[in-house]
């Protein structure tokens, strides 16, 4: 067991990870496609230690003291932005937040110039959300500090997938072997893409259920560049026997017209409701990355029912994001 002391605060890192924090090789977190199962396990193990820190009366350790973390959000967020901020503060980092709509970006400043400005102000880690897929990858090529993708376009949301897997593991003991059914708008969902990478790397069986117009080409015709998943258009068959039912938000703001006949029809065919949930295992978890369109992709009864772990996902997001920040910028490695 590795223990790190400073100023009376102790961070106890787990002993059983196959990859250790000192062997961590990622400078950026852009997606999970280049992660190994051992690396994902390490993040989840370290998040356990962070949960222990967050349960203390003083929820703080000095692991990132002297480091500067900046959030750069070109799209709105509640959960991701607040939890990264809380995570960085719990690790004693200096934290600054920049919202594109209230910055010189509105005067036409480019992404690269904005990033160079943050770097000039001392950013060691930039946590970035952007509507364009690939923007964080571009950012990573231009600054020396670490970039964490907090959601880019339809592409990836790796910290969400990691907190989802952490929540599954907390309830089920392991991710390997779980039957995970993802239901909804997979076309526009960066959450589902990162989850498909992470879950398949970890050995879960993934089923996807989406309207044909909301199913991305990469899933319909999987190539070498995307993991193979089961596509099941019938929601009842997709949910049957599932350990986890992950519901996705209909991303109406990203949709062109004509992708769905009507919301009424979507609700009839694809809403996860109490009746349909009975087809899953009795102890199945209901997950949703949020924000939810209650009454649309998920009924209020399921969203707030006994099987829902939606609020737990949010809580776990802080510990998982602490683990990521620790691995990227913790300084003293285990
Ligand atoms: N799940 C998620 O990314 O939520 P926010 O948009 O509120 O950050």
Digit-coded pLDDT (tens) for 187-209: 999 999 999 999 999 999 999 99
pLDDT value of residue 18:
60
Confidence at 223, pLDDT banded by 50, 70, 90: low
Q: Is the pLDDT of residue 7 over 90?
A: no
Atom 5 in ligand 1: which residue has the minimum CA distance? Answer: 77
Residues sharing a CB contact under 8 Å with residue 139, sequence separation 6 or more, in sequence order: 111, 112, 115, 126, 128, 147
Average pLDDT over residues 234-253: 95
CATH of region 158-310, choose from 3.50.50.60, 3.40.50.1370, 1.10.4080.10, 3.40.630.30 = 3.40.50.1370
Average pLDDT over residues 136-160: 98
Average pLDDT over residues 168-191: 97
Atom 6 in ligand 1: which residue has the minimum CA distance? Answer: 77
> Residues with Cβ within 6 A of ligand 1?
77-80, 151, 160, 289-291
Average pLDDT over residues 230-256: 92
Q: List every span in the chain annotated with CATH 3.40.50.1370.
A: 21-156+315-329, 158-310
Give pLDDT tens digits for 14-64. Answer: 666 667 778 899 999 999 999 999 999 999 999 999 999 999 999 999 999
Nearest atom in ligand 1 to the alpha carbon of residue 76 is 6
* Tally of helices (H runs) and strands (E runs) in the chain: 12, 11
This prediction has a pTM of 0.94
pLDDT value of residue 16:
60
pLDDT value of residue 219:
78
Mean of all residue pLDDT scores within the chain: 92
Q: Is the pLDDT of residue 326 over 90?
A: yes
How many Å lie between the centroid of ligand 1 and the Cα of residue 15?
32
Alpha-carbon gap, residue 294 to 299, rounded angstroms? 6
Query: If you search the block for the tokens 């910290």, which residue do you land on?
Result: 159
Higher pLDDT, 80 or 1: 80
Ligand 1 mutation target, pool 194, 290, 293, 314, most atoms within 8 A of CB? 290
User: Is the separation of the CB atoms in 147 and 181 below 8 Å?
Assistant: no
Q: Decide: helix, strand or coil at residue 187.
A: coil
H-type helices in 68-110, by residue range?
79-90
pLDDT value of residue 277:
98
Ligand 1 mutation target, pool 77, 81, 156, most atoms within 8 A of CB? 77
Average pLDDT over residues 274-294: 98
Confidence at 216, pLDDT banded by 50, 70, 90: confident
Higher pLDDT, 217 or 85: 85
Confidence at 257, pLDDT banded by 50, 70, 90: low
pLDDT value of residue 224:
64
Q: Decide: helix, strand or coil at residue 190.
A: helix
- Considering only 13-22, 61-70, 140-149, 303-312, which range has the smallest mean pLDDT? 13-22
- Share above pLDDT 70 across residues of the chain, in percent, rounded to a whole number: 92
Q: Is the pLDDT of residue 94 over 90?
A: yes
- Count Cβ atoms within 10 A of the Cβ of residue 2 and give its class: 0-12 exposed, 13-18 middle, 19 or more buried: middle
Look up the CATH number of domain 21-156+315-329. Answer: 3.40.50.1370
The closest alpha carbon to 313, from 197, 165, 172, 184, belongs to 165
Average pLDDT over residues 157-171: 98
- Share above pLDDT 90 across residues of the chain, in percent, rounded to a whole number: 84
Nearest atom in ligand 1 to the alpha carbon of residue 290 is 1
């Amino acid at each position: 067991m590795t223990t790190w002391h400073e100023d009376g605060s102790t961070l106890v890192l787990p002993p059983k990870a196959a990859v250790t924090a000192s062997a961590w090789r990622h400078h950026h977190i852009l997606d999970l496609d280049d992660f190994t199962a051992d690396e994902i396990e390490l993040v989840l193990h370290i998040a356990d230690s962070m949960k222990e820190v967050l349960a203390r009366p003083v929820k703080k350790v000095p692991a990132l003291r002297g480091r500067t973390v900046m959030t750069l959000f070109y799209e709105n967020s509640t959960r991701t932005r607040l939890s990264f901020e809380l995570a960085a503060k719990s690790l004693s980092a200096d934290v600054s937040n920049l919202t594109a709509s209230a910055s010189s970006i509105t005067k036409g400043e480019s992404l690269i110039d904005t990033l160079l400005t943050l770097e000039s102000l001392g950013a060691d880690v930039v946590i970035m959300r952007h509507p364009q897929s690939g923007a964080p990858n571009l950012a990573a090529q231009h600054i020396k500090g670490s970039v964490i993708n907090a959601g880019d376009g339809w592409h990836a949301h790796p910290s969400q997938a990691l907190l989802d897997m952490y929540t599954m593991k907390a309830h089920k003991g392991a991710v390997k072997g779980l039957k995970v059914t993802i239901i909804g708008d997979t076309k526009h969902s960066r959450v589902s893409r990162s989850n498909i990478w992470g879950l398949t790397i970890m050995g879960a069986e993934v089923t996807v259920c989406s309207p044909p117009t909301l199913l991305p080409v990469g899933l319909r015709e999987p190539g070498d560049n995307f993991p193979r998943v089961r596509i099941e258009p019938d929601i009842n068959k997709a949910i049957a026997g599932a350990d986890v039912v992950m519901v996705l938000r209909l991303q109406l703001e990203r949709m062109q017209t004509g992708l769905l006949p009507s919301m009424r029809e979507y609700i009839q065919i694809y809403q996860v409701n109490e009746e349909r949930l009975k087809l899953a295992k009795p102890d199945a978890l209901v997950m949703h990355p949020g924000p939810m369109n209650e009454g649309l992709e998920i009924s209020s009864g399921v969203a707030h029912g006994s099987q829902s772990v939606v609020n737990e996902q949010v809580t776990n997001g802080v510990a998982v994001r602490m683990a990521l920040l620790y691995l990227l910028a913790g300084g003293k490695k285990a």
